[in-house]
A and B are shown apart, each in its own frame.
Chain A
Amino acid sequence: MASAVGAVGAAGHASTESGVWSWITTVDHKRIGILYGVSAILFFLLGGSEAFLIRMQLASADADLISSGVFSQLFTMHALTMVFLAIMPLGAAFFNFLIPLQIGARDVAFPRLNALSYWLFLFGAILLNSSFVFGGAPDAGWFAYANLTSSTYSPGDSMDYFTLGLLVLGISSLAAALNFVVTILNMRAPGMTLMRMPVFTWMALVVSFLLVFALPILTVGLIELLFWRFFDMPFFSAEFGGDPLLWQHIFWLFGHPEVYILILPAMGIVSEILPTFSRKPLFGYTAVVFAGVSIAFLGFAVWAHHMFTVGLGPVAIAAFSASTMLIAVPTGIKVFNWMGTIWGGSLDLRTPMLFAIGFIALFTIGGLSGVMHAAASSDAQQQDTYFIVAHIHYVLFGGAIVAVIGGIYYWFPKFSGHMYNETVGKINFWLMFLGMNLTFFPMHFLGLDGMPRRIYTYDANMGWDLWNGVATMGSLVLGLSFLIFIYNMVTSWLNGEPAEADPWDGRTLEWSIASPPPEYNFEEIPIVYDRDAWWAEKRGKVQHGVPVGGGSGEEEHSIHMPQPSYWPIVVSIGLIIASYGLVYNSGNFIVATIGLLVGIFGVYAWSFEPVNDPE
């Protein structure tokens, strides 16, 4: 063991260095995870500011803070930012940081591909948001229904930014998902069978498969949208016999699996936090895992519940209504198992635990209103009202974001090496819980009262002032809770007490190594004898690690870490140049071709870069 440490020290790999260049060329999954996390939080603040402007405009009747055009851009970009630039990359941040640690691996299977995913995400996000500066952001809603998106009704470049931005983000997510599939299936420590994997890793695997199979559907839709706009190919043109509804089918065939892509990481996080702070193993591990898997399968069979009011006919509506209600079963199984985990445990109500319990409550409220929309006749009343807005924010804010914030608190000692401030953390939770309910619960009333979504103002005698005012007050509280969160993170990272390796008496392997983990993660690859592997070891099950470097006959054990590489960022830059070239093609594709050539050159250089040069 000592020799292993020595060898690592002597090798002196570049990625232990600091400085901007080391971050640009990093292929270390922990650093990429942190890059993902920090970028996603920044985009979350951006999306939050957009929401705040929306709330300010709607605070009272007949307000004229924002014009209707800008309002449309704001709600479109708010949704796109939160879905694609905040929640998904926050999930990716956790996947990156945790998966190799939880399965006892040194890194992901393809470290450079991982770096490519991050840079494509960042540049894709910048591409999408740069539309604000270059003539206006997309304003056709995040689902971009045809005909709103045709070159007649969206004549500028805004929808091209939407299409290309999402295509680039799609490539990024697909590359990441493929990488995680291989990492989880193929790089588990000896003894870690699938049914011994931490539930978070399980959910990461399910999400990765969802991405692998759902993203290409969106890609095809975006390509058709692009060709429709650029080359007048009549994909969604009714005057050619085309069907604008085809876009809706394609979009929601992706879009519904997408909501599980957003929520399953959160469910994984909660399934890690609850057992640790209840001092009990997860209740019904197998049921939780299979519920997650069946949610993923069912997720592909329910898309038309977003289209109950477009006239699908009674048979289709009944079928999709039933399949949608069916999803409540595995979801309910999860909720009951979480409660079973808490039941009879000796609870330690620290900040992450508060967030996890808050998640269960809020997500269940969102789930209940979800079942209400599953009943098609009831949905016909709720379609396009604020009731839907309330539902989606209970599942995506009360669900995904609350769990993710809890997860950040839970693993903060691990990735930063410092303890967060517990008191500030608790204030953070209670303010967020209060603000969340204050903002989004009144939207149920507004929706039932008939207030439509996506209107930039409303008449005073509609009687919607009161609850809109309350919601806006709530968003102020939410904003405050976020500032407190950021304050806690920044001050704790800079001045927090040093964290022990295992401050929570954790169950999974990431707690068996130092905080923050060394670059090579594990000195010895652990051997896994049980679920909750680290608890098992701490409670006396014998565990001998596999010496690093593989063969036992070797004299010196050295850990080969992947070397830094700048080709991932070069390829990403090429693709972004190509995307801008396509947006501003004006009939020729010279810039797009140049960008593509840069990308291809990068791929070739990447392929021939020596990866494991033993120096």
Chain B
Amino acid sequence: MAQATADHGEHEATTTGLNHRKMLMWAFLGSDCMFFGSLIATYLVYKGRSLEGPLPIDVFSIPTTSVSTFVLLMSSMSMVLAYSALRRNRMKTFRVWLASTAIMGMTFLAFQVFEFRVFANHEVVVDCHAPIGELSIVELSVRNDKTVGCEATGHDEVEKQVGLTPKTNLFGSTFFTLTGFHGAHVTLGVIWLLTMFFLSFKKGMVTPERNLDLDLAALYWHFVDIVWIIIFTVVYLFGVFPGFA
């Protein structure tokens, strides 16, 4: 059965020479580009239009997200190594690299969950002696808060939890929707990779002759990775760097 599938699936003559499933994947990714493109466009249209904080500059931690971005980038490399190992029929090496890819994907997701939680519990501390002109929207709102603000309490420093959730402001809605759907794509990729990992222990399911299965997963994985690079640049870096923020 497996052999029959392989024969049909991978060595079938096609008009363009490109395998059907691979072309399907390319076309789907083209469609997915428009999907993420629309989400990013929504984010950009609403950038700077939130009426209250927190804003990107308040919550983003570029060092933290750089680490998770690096991990995701490295997972693309291990994906390539896994594919190369499979083609050379080094099953053990293949499994090691495949598992590392999945683990790095999960690490990225863990970072994302952590980040979302930190954003949701964001605390703002305001020095009551700082010039008002230097305060951000959210700092100003804490400073002038009727119960815990500077005037109300008379303290030198006041603090308040101002969490960022999808409901908080336009930034929250567009940010969580965009990164949430990216996270969902990574999750799907991790499930796919883990499925292939476990299938590789079953005879004849993951073989050098059937490397197309892995090739498709890899194509998807690299795409999701590239989308993240765009999100990291457009959302995170442009969100905090002076001149863009």
- Using CB atoms and an 8 Å cutoff, list the residues of chain A in contact with chain B: 109-110, 174, 178-179, 181-182, 185-188, 192, 212-217, 219-221, 223-224, 227, 231-235, 240-243, 246, 250, 253, 550, 560, 604, 610-614
The residue that A610 contacts in the complex, of B5, B27, B39, B166, with Cβ under 8 A, is B5
- Residue B46 at the chain A interface, CB threshold 8 Å: yes
Does B49 contact A241, Cβ atoms closer than 8 Å? yes
Does B23 contact A234, Cβ atoms closer than 8 Å? no
- Residue B173 at the chain A interface, CB threshold 8 Å: yes
- Residue B45 at the chain A interface, CB threshold 8 Å: yes
User: Mask for B1-43, Cβ within 8 A of A = 1, else 0?
Assistant: 1001101100001111010100110011011101101110010
Chain B contacts with A in 68-112, Cβ cutoff 8 A: none
Does B20 contact A182, Cβ atoms closer than 8 Å? yes
Does A231 contact B38, Cβ atoms closer than 8 Å? no
* Closest partner residue, chain B, to A231 (CB atom): B166
* Closest partner residue, chain B, to A187 (CB atom): B15
A613 to B3, CA, bound (A): 9
Cβ of A38 to closest chain B Cβ, rounded Å: 28
Cβ of A217 to closest chain B Cβ, rounded Å: 5
Cβ of B55 to closest chain A Cβ, rounded Å: 12
- Residue B164 at the chain A interface, CB threshold 8 Å: no
Q: Which residues in A have their C-beta under 8 angstroms from that of B14?
A: 186-187
Does B173 contact A182, Cβ atoms closer than 8 Å? no
The residue that B28 contacts in the complex, of A178, A250, A612, with Cβ under 8 A, is A178
Does B31 contact A610, Cβ atoms closer than 8 Å? no
Does A186 contact B15, Cβ atoms closer than 8 Å? yes
Q: A212-B30, A214-B34, A610-B1 are in contact. List 9 more A-B contacts (CB 8 A).
A: A182-B23, A213-B30, A213-B34, A215-B31, A216-B34, A241-B169, A243-B45, A246-B46, A612-B4
Q: Which residues in A have their C-beta under 8 angstroms from that of B49?
A: 241-243
Given that A185-B16, A250-B38 are known contacts, is A613 also in contact with B173, CB under 8 Å in the complex? no
Does A220 contact B38, Cβ atoms closer than 8 Å? yes
A179 to B30, CA, bound (A): 14
Can you report 10 residue pairs joining A to B where beta carbons are below 8 Å apart? A178-B24, A182-B23, A186-B14, A188-B15, A212-B30, A234-B169, A240-B50, A242-B46, A242-B170, A604-B195
Cβ of A201 to closest chain B Cβ, rounded Å: 13
* Closest partner residue, chain B, to A105 (CB atom): B15
A610 to B3, CA, bound (A): 10
A174 to B30, CA, bound (A): 12
Does A234 contact B167, Cβ atoms closer than 8 Å? yes
Does B167 contact A246, Cβ atoms closer than 8 Å? no
Does B173 contact A227, Cβ atoms closer than 8 Å? yes
> Binding site of A, secondary structure by majority: helix, strand, loop or mixed?
helix
Does B169 contact A240, Cβ atoms closer than 8 Å? yes
Cβ of B7 to closest chain A Cβ, rounded Å: 8
Does B45 contact A612, Cβ atoms closer than 8 Å? no
Q: Which residues in B have their C-beta under 8 angstroms from that of A227?
A: 166, 173, 177
- Residue B226 at the chain A interface, CB threshold 8 Å: no
Given that A213-B30, A233-B166 are known contacts, is A241 also in contact with B15, CB under 8 Å in the complex? no
Does A611 contact B32, Cβ atoms closer than 8 Å? no
> Binding site of B, secondary structure by majority: helix, strand, loop or mixed?
helix
* Closest partner residue, chain B, to A614 (CB atom): B4
Does B38 contact A217, Cβ atoms closer than 8 Å? yes
* Closest partner residue, chain B, to A192 (CB atom): B15
Q: Which residues in A have their C-beta under 8 angstroms from that of B176?
A: 233
Does B24 contact A109, Cβ atoms closer than 8 Å? yes
- Residue B51 at the chain A interface, CB threshold 8 Å: yes
Cβ of B185 to closest chain A Cβ, rounded Å: 13
Given that A234-B167, A613-B4 are known contacts, is A110 also in contact with B51, CB under 8 Å in the complex? no
Does B4 contact A216, Cβ atoms closer than 8 Å? no
Cβ of A518 to closest chain B Cβ, rounded Å: 21
* Closest partner residue, chain B, to A235 (CB atom): B173
Given that A110-B24, A182-B20, A240-B51 are known contacts, is A610 also in contact with B177, CB under 8 Å in the complex? no
Q: Which residues in A have their C-beta under 8 angstroms from that of B13?
A: 550
6 closest cross-chain pairs (CB), A and B: A216-B35, A220-B38, A233-B173, A216-B34, A186-B14, A612-B8
Given that A220-B42, A233-B173, A250-B38 are known contacts, is A213 also in contact with B4, CB under 8 Å in the complex? no
Q: Which residues in A have their C-beta under 8 angstroms from that of B24?
A: 109-110, 178-179, 182
Does A234 contact B170, Cβ atoms closer than 8 Å? yes
Given that A110-B20, A550-B13 are known contacts, is A246 also in contact with B45, CB under 8 Å in the complex? yes
Does A220 contact B30, Cβ atoms closer than 8 Å? no
A241 to B177, CA, bound (A): 17
Which of A213, A216, A250 has the most chain B CB within a 10 Å cutoff?
A: A216
* Closest partner residue, chain A, to B30 (CB atom): A212
A109 to B20, CA, bound (A): 7
Q: Which residues in B have their C-beta under 8 angstroms from that of A216?
A: 31-32, 34-35, 37-38
A554 to B173, CA, bound (A): 61
Cβ of B214 to closest chain A Cβ, rounded Å: 14
Does A174 contact B31, Cβ atoms closer than 8 Å? yes
The residue that B170 contacts in the complex, of A178, A241, A250, with Cβ under 8 A, is A241
Q: Which residues in A have their C-beta under 8 angstroms from that of B35?
A: 216, 219-220
* Closest partner residue, chain A, to B49 (CB atom): A241
Q: Which residues in B have their C-beta under 8 angstroms from that of A174?
A: 31
Q: Which residues in B have their C-beta under 8 angstroms from that of A181?
A: 23, 27
A550 to B8, CA, bound (A): 11
A178 to B5, CA, bound (A): 21
Does B167 contact A232, Cβ atoms closer than 8 Å? yes
Does B166 contact A240, Cβ atoms closer than 8 Å? no
A241 to B50, CA, bound (A): 6
A231 to B166, CA, bound (A): 8
Q: Which residues in B have their C-beta under 8 angstroms from that of A253?
A: 38
Does B1 contact A613, Cβ atoms closer than 8 Å? yes
A179 to B24, CA, bound (A): 7
Does B31 contact A213, Cβ atoms closer than 8 Å? yes
Cβ of A327 to closest chain B Cβ, rounded Å: 21
Given that A233-B166, A235-B173, A241-B49 are known contacts, is A185 also in contact with B23, CB under 8 Å in the complex? yes
Cβ of B32 to closest chain A Cβ, rounded Å: 7
Given that A212-B27, A233-B177, A234-B167 are known contacts, is A246 also in contact with B42, CB under 8 Å in the complex? yes
A182 to B15, CA, bound (A): 10
Q: Which residues in A have their C-beta under 8 angstroms from that of B27?
A: 178, 181-182, 212
Q: Which residues in B have their C-beta under 8 angstroms from that of A234?
A: 167, 169-170, 173
Q: Which residues in A have their C-beta under 8 angstroms from that of B16?
A: 185-186
Q: Which residues in A have their C-beta under 8 angstroms from that of B5?
A: 610-612
A182 to B19, CA, bound (A): 9
Cβ of B98 to closest chain A Cβ, rounded Å: 17
Q: Which residues in B have their C-beta under 8 angstroms from that of A240?
A: 50-51, 169-170
User: Mask for B183-204, Cβ within 8 A of A = 1, else 0?
Assistant: 0000000000001000000000
A181 to B27, CA, bound (A): 8
A323 to B37, CA, bound (A): 22
A221 to B38, CA, bound (A): 8
Does A186 contact B18, Cβ atoms closer than 8 Å? yes
* Closest partner residue, chain B, to A250 (CB atom): B38
Cβ of B219 to closest chain A Cβ, rounded Å: 14
